[in-house]
């Protein structure tokens, strides 16, 4: 039997807009993935620790507070330090297009803006995991 | 026999549906609007139409959908007739504007007298930045200010806290101490403006700072006008910016209601908010029911302080969203006003009609804005704003078209404000009061909203009241289910969002975005640290110890918090004292 894809949906930053994170979490679960949701206001350390403990294949970061340029590099740095570089990291929320190249450069695979169909996120994860396997 | 209206009191609140139902059926014995004979005749004609004209038409031109529903899931009929409102009793259900049950509006002349308040939410960067924006808005003729605070302030963290990194001044203005508040209102006489503050967990601290600025300006406290959002209950299941657990959070909200009733007669101590409930994914019906339920909880909690209902209820205010379904929203606003009036009169035995007033602020719905083809958002906002006006709001905020992408630019804010002004000055909808009254559809929908909200309220009662419902995740689950359903409908194209899942184009973000300079954080942190060095730290320590003591004794904390902010104790320091006494809320995680 094929192992289920394990996904951590994490909310860094102080904002509390969890509607999108929860909808994505549920859609991934309905698509047959194992989903762990961290809850709100997680520090980069807490997120990376959870990823390690839960042995996830994928991390989805959701942020709408505008602090992504401070918090995402920190998370990516910590993942590197822990040797977790094979985890697929994607992000969503209110992230201006002009910030996207910079975020991709530090290793975030995809940025899904407002209005993205969940189907597209599922596809992206499945493609990545099948290539890796 | 007359029901007493005092059934078994449950632990937190008991909503006496039986009494309301009883009273309504009593009224039903009075004259309804329509002659029974004539209604029967209309019914016969409807049947004839359904057997002739309708099938002939449908066989050639089938309807676009099998069934039509609004966001709340209510089935919408093909056509409404007097049959759908045959039980309506004009004086009981509608009455005249400015009179109970206020369905047609709180004021006798509504917008023929005074237009609604156009109050635009603003705040970003440092206190200096927002002070400049406030002064600009005042010079444009605004008299109502509305303050957005940044996330660290909202969560009770000073700007130099480790959790504040990257967030200072980004989504609102950073306020860590009375010093920042003095800058924010520098040159703005507090007896000439009213100020709304969107703040909940630390609401007492920000209100204390506002009072302190007023004291310094020599403005008497009874002259201070404005609003603190201060609705901590909805935080647990909607806005989710909670600091303390539910019980102490309700206590802090109640402290402000009590303090204002005694000392700040012109202040609205609370804005009982459905907006965030809706934005988190709830339907219009859930928004209505959950908000009223919170309102009842605040009244019960304040009554326990020994105040009489008419001593504080007139200053309670409400805050709703206006979403896309035009008539559903209008019905919601009208039903909300009527239901609240009935609750206040029948359940809480209010005597003063102002206690029965549901004064409301409405904001167009942020979650309906699309990042795709953002100019379309101007049209969405216009329809939503029009619904709020036809629903009889007292105050309105219209969102800017770029808000799915960033904080609004000045140009986008101007278009949003102009939208309200065009509705007010050009559309003609303000010329008469409650123009949609008597529409078979609107009245039937208003009735259905009220009845279904009552059923929901009963359901929450059965869960055990507001705090039990929060702790069991009842609201959270209900809202998450609705949010997911909404998203699925969009993805299955059962719900069309123009520019998103239909009528799409390839586009690059065409608009200019507002960015916050990272220097804001440096400057703010430097100012705060200078203050912490230079203030009288002995005085700060004493004030915080006094607060710690008062919190343990369960006193009303407003007076000691005012003392603490005047000693320049910071927002973070004051919140930390309360965190020690009350503990911190641990989120109930469910998806």
A18 inside 8 A of chain B by CB? yes
Global pTM?
0.92
In angstroms, the CA B367 to CA B324 distance is: 10
For residue B235, give the nearest of B226, B245, B225 by alpha carbon: B245
What separation in angstroms does the CA of A76 have from each of A81, B90, B445?
A: 9, 65, 52
Q: Is residue B148 within 8 Å of B413, Cβ to Cβ?
A: no
For residue B112, give the nearest of B94, B93, B97 by alpha carbon: B97
User: Could you give the 3-state DSSP secondary structure of residue B226?
Assistant: strand
Rg, C-alpha atoms of chain B: 25
Domains in chain B with CATH codes: 17-90 (no CATH), 110-219+504-585 (3.20.20.240)
In angstroms, the CA A84 to CA A86 distance is: 6
In angstroms, the CA B326 to CA B71 distance is: 11
pLDDT for B19 equals 44
- Collect contacts of B138-145 with beta carbons under 8 A, ≥24 apart: B138/B188, B138/B193, B142/B118, B143/B192, B143/B193, B143/B194, B144/B117, B144/B118, B144/B119, B144/B193, B144/B194, B144/B195, B144/B196, B144/B395, B145/B119, B145/B188, B145/B193, B145/B194, B145/B195, B145/B196, B145/B226
Per the CB < 8 Å rule, is B480 touching A14?
no
Sequence-ordered list of residues with C-beta below 8 angstroms from that of A96, at least 6 positions apart, any chain: B405, B406, B509, B513, B515
Distance from CA of B14 to the nearest CA of A (A): 30
Per the CB < 8 Å rule, is A119 touching B491?
yes
Give the best residue of A10, A22, A112 to mutate against chain B (max B CB count within 10 A).
Answer: A22
Q: Is residue B526 within 8 Å of B168, Cβ to Cβ?
A: no
Say what percent of chain A tops pLDDT 70.
Answer: 98
Per the CB < 8 Å rule, is A66 touching B170?
yes
pLDDT for B22 equals 42
Write the pLDDT tens digit of every residue in B395-440.
999 999 998 888 888 889 889 999 999 999 999 999 999 999 999 9
Phi, psi of B145 (to 5 degrees): -95, 150
Write the pLDDT tens digit of every residue in A58-82.
999 999 888 899 999 999 999 999 9
**Residue at token pair 């959002």:** B229
Per the CB < 8 Å rule, is A22 touching B241?
no
All residues of chain A having their beta carbon less than 8 Å from the beta carbon of residue B171 are 15, 65-66
Per the CB < 8 Å rule, is A26 touching B480?
yes
All residues of chain B having their beta carbon less than 8 Å from the beta carbon of residue A66 are 166-167, 170-171, 406-407, 516
pLDDT for B245 equals 96
A119 inside 8 A of chain B by CB? yes
Structure tokens at A61: 């970061």
pLDDT for B515 equals 79
Distance from CA of A22 to the nearest CA of B (A): 5
Distance from CA of A103 to the nearest CA of B (A): 15
pLDDT for A105 equals 96
Check residue B270 and report its DSSP letter. Answer: -
CATH ID of A6-132, from 2.40.128.20, 3.10.20.30, 3.40.50.280, 3.30.70.1900: 3.40.50.280
ipTM of the complex: 0.89
A117 inside 8 A of chain B by CB? yes
Per the CB < 8 Å rule, is A115 touching B241?
no
Structure tokens at B18: 């039986």
All residues of chain B having their beta carbon less than 8 Å from the beta carbon of residue A13 are 151, 166-167
Q: Which residues of chain B have pLDDT under 70?
A: 1-30, 143, 509-510
pLDDT for B30 equals 58
- Of the partner residues B151, B164, B281, the one whose CB lies closest to the CB of residue A19: B281
pLDDT tier at A49, thresholds 50, 70, 90: very high
All residues of chain B having their beta carbon less than 8 Å from the beta carbon of residue A23 are 281, 483-484, 487
Q: Which residues, in sequence order, are bridge partners of residue B185?
A: none
pLDDT for A97 equals 87
Per-residue b or e along B54-89, where b marks 16 or more CB atoms closer than 10 Å to that residue's CB: eeeeeeeeeeeeeeeebbbebeeeeebbbebbbebb
In angstroms, the CA B145 to CA B118 distance is: 10
> Chain A to chain B, count of Cβ pairs less than 8 Å apart?
98
In angstroms, the CA B367 to CA B320 distance is: 13
All residues of chain B having their beta carbon less than 8 Å from the beta carbon of residue A65 are 151, 167, 170-171
- Of the partner residues A39, A66, A115, the one whose CB lies closest to the CB of residue B589: A39
């Amino acid at each position: 039997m094929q192992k289920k894809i394990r996904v951590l949906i994490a909310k860094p930053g102080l904002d509390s807009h969890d509607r999108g994170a929860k909808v994505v979490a549920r859609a991934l679960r309905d698509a047959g993935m194992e989903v762990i949701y961290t809850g709100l206001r997680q520090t980069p350390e807490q997120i990376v620790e959870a990823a390690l403990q839960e042995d996830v294949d994928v991390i989805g970061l959701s942020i709408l507070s505008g602090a992504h340029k401070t918090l995402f590099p920190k998370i990516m740095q910590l993942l590197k330090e822990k040797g977790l570089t094979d985890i697929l990291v994607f992000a969503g929320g209110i992230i201006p297009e002009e910030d996207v190249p910079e975020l991709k450069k530090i290793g975030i695979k995809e940025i899904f803006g407002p209005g993205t169909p969940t189907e597209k996120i599922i596809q992206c994860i499945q493609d990545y995991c099948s290539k890796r396997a | 026999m007359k029901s007493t209206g005092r059934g078994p009191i449950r632990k937190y609140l008991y909503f006496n549906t039986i009494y309301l139902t009883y009273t309504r059926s009593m009224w039903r014995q009075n004259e309804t609007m329509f002659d029974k004979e004539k209604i029967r005749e209309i019914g016969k004609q409807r049947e004839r139409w359904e057997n002739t004209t309708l099938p002939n038409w449908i066989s050639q031109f089938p309807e676009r959908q099998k069934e039509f529903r609004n966001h709340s899931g209510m089935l919408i009929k093909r056509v409404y007739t007097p049959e759908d409102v045959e039980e309506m009793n004009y004086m009981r259900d509608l009455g005249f504007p400015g009179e109970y049950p206020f369905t047609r509006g709180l004021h006798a002349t509504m917008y023929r007298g005074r237009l609604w308040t156009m109050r635009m939410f603003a705040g970003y960067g440092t206190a200096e930045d927002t002070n400049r924006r406030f002064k600009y808005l005042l010079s444009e003729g605004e008299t109502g200010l509305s303050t957005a605070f940044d996330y660290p302030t909202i969560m009770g963290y000073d700007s130099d806290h480790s959790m504040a990194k990257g967030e200072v001044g980004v989504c609102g203005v950073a306020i860590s101490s009375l010093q920042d508040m003095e800058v924010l209102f520098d040159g703005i006489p507090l007896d000439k403006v009213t100020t709304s503050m969107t703040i909940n967990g630390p609401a007492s601290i920000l209100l204390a700072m506002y009072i302190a600025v007023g004291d310094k300006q020599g403005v008497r406290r009874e002259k201070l006008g404005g609003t603190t959002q201060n609705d901590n209950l909805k935080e647990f299941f909607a806005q989710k910016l909670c600091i303390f657990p539910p019980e102490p959070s309700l206590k802090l909200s109640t402290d402000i209601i009590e303090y204002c009733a005694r000392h700040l007669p012109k202040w609205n101590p609370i804005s009982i908010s459905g907006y965030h409930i809706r934005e988190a994914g709830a339907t219009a019906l859930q928004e209505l029911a959950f908000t009223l339920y919170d309102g009842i909880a605040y009244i019960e909690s304040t009554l326990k302080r020994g105040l009489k209902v008419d001593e504080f209820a007139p200053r309670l205010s409400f805050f709703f969203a206006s979403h896309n379904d035009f008539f559903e929203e209008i019905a919601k606003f009208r039903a909300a006003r009527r239901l609240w009036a009935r609750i206040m009169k029948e359940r809480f035995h209010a005597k003063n009609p102002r206690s029965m007033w549901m004064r409301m602020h409405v904001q167009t719905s942020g979650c309906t804005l699309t990042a795709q083809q953002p100019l379309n958002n101007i049209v969405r906002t216009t329809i939503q704003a029009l619904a709020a006006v036809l629903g009889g709001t007292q105050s309105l905020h219209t969102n800017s078209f770029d808000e799915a992408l960033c904080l609004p630019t000045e140009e986008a804010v101007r278009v949003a404000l102009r939208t309200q002004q065009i509705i007010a000055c050009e559309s003609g909808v303000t010329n008469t009061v409650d123009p949609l009254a008597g529409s078979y559809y609107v009245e039937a929908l208003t009735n259905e909203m009220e009845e279904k909200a009552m059923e929901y309220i009963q359901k929450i009662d059965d869960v055990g009241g507001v705090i039990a419902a929060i702790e069991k995740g009842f609201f959270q689950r209900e809202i998450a289910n609705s949010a997911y359903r909404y998203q699925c409908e969009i993805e299955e194209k059962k719900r069309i969002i123009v520019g998103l899942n239909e009528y799409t184009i390839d586009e690059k973000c065409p608009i200019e975005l507002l960015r916050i300079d990272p220097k804001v954080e440096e400057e703010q942190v430097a100012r705060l640290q200078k203050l912490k060095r230079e203030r009288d730290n002995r005085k700060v320590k004493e004030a915080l110890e006094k607060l710690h003591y008062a919190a343990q004794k369960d006193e009303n904390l407003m007076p000691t918090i005012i003392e603490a902010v005047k000693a320049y104790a910071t927002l973070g320091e004051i919140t930390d004292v309360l965190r020690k006494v009350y503990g911190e809320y641990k989120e109930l995680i469910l998806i």
